[in-house]
Amino acid sequence: MSTEHVLVTGGAGYIGSHVVRQLSEAGYRVIVYDNLSTGSAEALVHGETLVVGDLEDTGKLDGVFRSYAPAAVLHFAAAIVAPESVSDPLKYYANNTANTLRLLQACVRHGVGRFIFSSTAAVYGFPEGGIAAESSPTVPINPYGTSKLMSEWMLRDTALAHGLRYVALRYFNVAGADPQSRMGQRTPEATHLIKVSCQAALGMRQGVSIFGTDYPTADGTGIRDYIHVEDLAAAHLAALAYLEREGESDTFNVGYGRGSSVREVIRVVREVSGIDFPVTEAARRPGDPGELVARADRIRNVLGWEPKFDDLQTIVADAWRWERKLAGV
Annotated active-site positions, please? 144
Question: DSSP string covering 46-112, please?
Answer: T--EEEE--TT-HHHHHHHHHHH--SEEEE------HHHHHH-HHHHIIIIIIHHHHHHHHHHHTT-
State in Å, rounded, how far the first CA of the chain is from the last one: 38
* 75 contacts 10 by C-beta, under 8 angstroms: yes
Mutual angle of helices 262-273 and 312-327, in 10-degree steps? 60
Question: Could you tell me whether strands 173-175 and 226-228 are parallel, antiparallel, or unpaired per DSSP bridges?
Answer: parallel
Q: Are 124 and 148 in contact (CB under 8 A)?
A: no
Instruction: List strand residue ranges (DSSP E) for the chain, in order.
Output: 5-9, 29-34, 49-52, 72-75, 114-120, 131-132, 165-171, 173-175, 208-211, 223-224, 226-228, 250-254, 260-261, 279-282, 291-294
Report whether 233 contacts 280 (CB < 8 A). Answer: no
- The CA–CA distances, whole Å, from 94 to 17, 60, 108, 144, 214 equal 23, 18, 20, 11, 36
